[in-house]
């Protein structure tokens, strides 16, 4: 119930065909050697043709470049594969694998010095559908995909998905995209990238260089970003919830990248997430005095830390019979893929703003996630 992807060297394949013995053939190898390119195939000796016809298999194995481990192992069942060679903004070349699953998804994977880095997952249809064929147009950066009932054209330069900041664009490690003064755009020479490491300090260095050039309009330089989270609740899109004592309450923030580590921070303490679908949850079975205050949902990925959401829980003096709704409804994410450390939970619970949750429902959620 899975797939292994291996990388082979064309040089090694050519060496085997030129030097290996033929499986099941023990006589002298005729001249010209079977498999050798000749100017006129009609003039090949009968002995050479018979070896090709009766013993087409080489005795020696063709081993992948990584002899002891596949390049990538996945629980997905891949049915199609194409590979694109992409030039980065610093003119280095990178291999990007485009893998089709048997459920109609496309995985974009970077070959990072023979280590896989999952860039994104794209859903081509609202329902599961088998991908029948894939054709790459490397010049136009398009992937033409044939499904059972439709043909889809996938733009490989989906840079708008990482347009939130320079750091997000760099962390994507997508060779098709680079950060520019206009935002995250298709790669151009001199654009800001760090494909090999995904280190966001390249954004800081660029900002330091460009700040003196435009002293009158510092906000127009989109390579700048805040390295420290703002202390303003409004600037962070904070939400305030009044919750009575003794009732259950839960907080939710969206998971934008499965390569990042998410946690909730409150009064100097860090609490891990309960992951449900594409949300990071923090469950409080019964609100007590020490539970009130500001909560920050923090995302940490490589050298970049950001506050995703701030929620302030205040005490409601009255005691209504209903329970406060979640800070944010759960929503699916269609452009990122879960990394290998994500659990395999299959429980799905729909949560929507305005729905009220009883203590029993919260207890069920906790049990299902354990």
The CATH class of the 239-369 domain is mainly beta
Contact 181, 221 (CB under 8 A): yes
More confident residue, 253 or 370: 253
pLDDT above 70: residue 194: yes
Structure tokens at 281: 């949850």
pLDDT averaged over the chain? 79
C-alpha angle with apex 266: 260 to 272, nearest 5 degrees?
A: 40
Coil, strand or helix: which one is 366? helix
Enumerate residues 6+ apart whose C-beta is below 8 A from 218. Answer: 211, 224
Contact 128, 231 (CB under 8 A): no
pLDDT above 60: residue 341: no
DSSP H stretches of helix in 119-165:
none
* Chain-centre distance for alpha carbon 56: 41
More confident residue, 217 or 180: 180
pLDDT above 70: residue 216: no
pLDDT above 80: residue 325: no
pLDDT above 80: residue 365: no
Enumerate residues 6+ apart whose C-beta is below 8 A from 244. Answer: 287, 315, 316, 317, 318, 319, 320
The pLDDT, as a whole number, for residue 354 is 32
Enumerate residues 6+ apart whose C-beta is below 8 A from 346. Answer: none
More confident residue, 219 or 48: 48
- pTM across the whole model: 0.67
- Distance from the first to the final alpha carbon of the chain: 24
More confident residue, 88 or 217: 88
Q: Give residue-wise pLDDT tens across range 221-247.
A: 222 223 233 334 444 557 899 999 999
The pLDDT, as a whole number, for residue 239 is 86
pLDDT above 70: residue 74: yes
Q: Give residue-wise pLDDT tens across range 237-282.
A: 578 999 999 999 999 999 888 888 999 999 999 998 888 878 899 9
Q: Give residue-wise pLDDT tens across range 146-188.
A: 988 889 999 999 999 989 899 999 999 999 999 999 999 999 9
More confident residue, 126 or 174: 174
Measure the CA–CA gap between 169 and 164, rounded to whole angstroms: 8
On the 0-12 / 13-18 / 19+ scale of CB atoms within 10 A, 312 is middle
The pLDDT, as a whole number, for residue 68 is 84
DSSP state of 351: -
What residue spans define the domains of the chain? 87-227, 239-369
pLDDT above 80: residue 2: yes
Q: Which pLDDT band holds residue 306 (cuts at 50, 70, 90)?
A: confident
Residues listed for the chain: 370
pLDDT above 80: residue 356: no
Contact 93, 44 (CB under 8 A): no
Which residues pair with residue 180 across a beta bridge?
183
pLDDT above 90: residue 125: no
Q: Which pLDDT band holds residue 317 (cuts at 50, 70, 90)?
A: confident
Q: What is the mean pLDDT of residues 125-149?
A: 90
Query: Among 51-60, 62-71, 237-246, 323-332, which is the least confidently predicted range?
Result: 323-332
């Amino acid at each position: 119930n899975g797939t292994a992807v291996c990388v082979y060297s064309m040089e090694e394949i050519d060496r085997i065909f030129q030097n290996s013995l033929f499986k099941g053939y023990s006589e002298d190898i005729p001249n010209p050697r079977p498999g050798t390119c000749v100017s006129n195939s009609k003039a090949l000796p009968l002995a050479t043709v018979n070896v090709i016809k009766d013993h087409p298999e080489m005795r020696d194995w063709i081993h992948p470049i990584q002899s002891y481990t596949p390049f990538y192992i996945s629980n997905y069942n891949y049915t199609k594969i194409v590979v694109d060679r992409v030039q980065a903004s610093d003119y280095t070349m990178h291999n990007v694998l485009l893998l089709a699953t048997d459920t109609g998804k496309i995985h974009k994977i970077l070959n990072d010095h023979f280590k896989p880095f999952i860039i994104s997952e794209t859903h081509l249809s609202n329902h599961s559908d088998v991908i029948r064929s894939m054709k790459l147009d490397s010049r136009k950066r398009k992937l033409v995909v044939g499904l059972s009932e439709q043909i889809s054209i996938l733009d490989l330069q989906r840079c708008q998905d990482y347009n939130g900041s320079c750091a997000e664009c760099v962390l994507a490690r997508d060779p098709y995209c680079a950060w520019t003064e206009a935002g995250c755009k298709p790669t151009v020479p001199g654009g800001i990238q760090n494909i090999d490491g995904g280190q966001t300090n390249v954004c800081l260095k660029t900002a330091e260089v460009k700040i003196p050039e435009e002293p009158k309009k510092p906000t127009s330089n989109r390579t700048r970003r805040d390295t420290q989270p703002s202390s303003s609740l409004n600037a962070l899109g904070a939400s305030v919830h009044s919750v009575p004592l003794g009732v259950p309450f839960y907080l939710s923030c969206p998971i934008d990248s499965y390569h990042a580590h998410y946690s909730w921070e409150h009064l100097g303490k860090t609490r891990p997430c309960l992951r449900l679908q594409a949300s990071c949850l923090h469950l409080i079975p019964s609100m007590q005095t020490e539970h009130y205050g500001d909560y920050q949902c923090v995302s940490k990925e490589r050298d970049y830390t950001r506050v995703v959401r701030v929620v302030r829980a205040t005490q409601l003096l009255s005691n209504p019979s209903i329970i406060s709704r979640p800070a944010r409804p759960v929503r699916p994410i269609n452009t990122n893929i879960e990394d290998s450390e994500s659990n395999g939970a299959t429980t799905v619970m729909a949560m929507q703003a305005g729905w009220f949750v009883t203590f029993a429902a919260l207890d069920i959620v906790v049990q299902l996630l354990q």
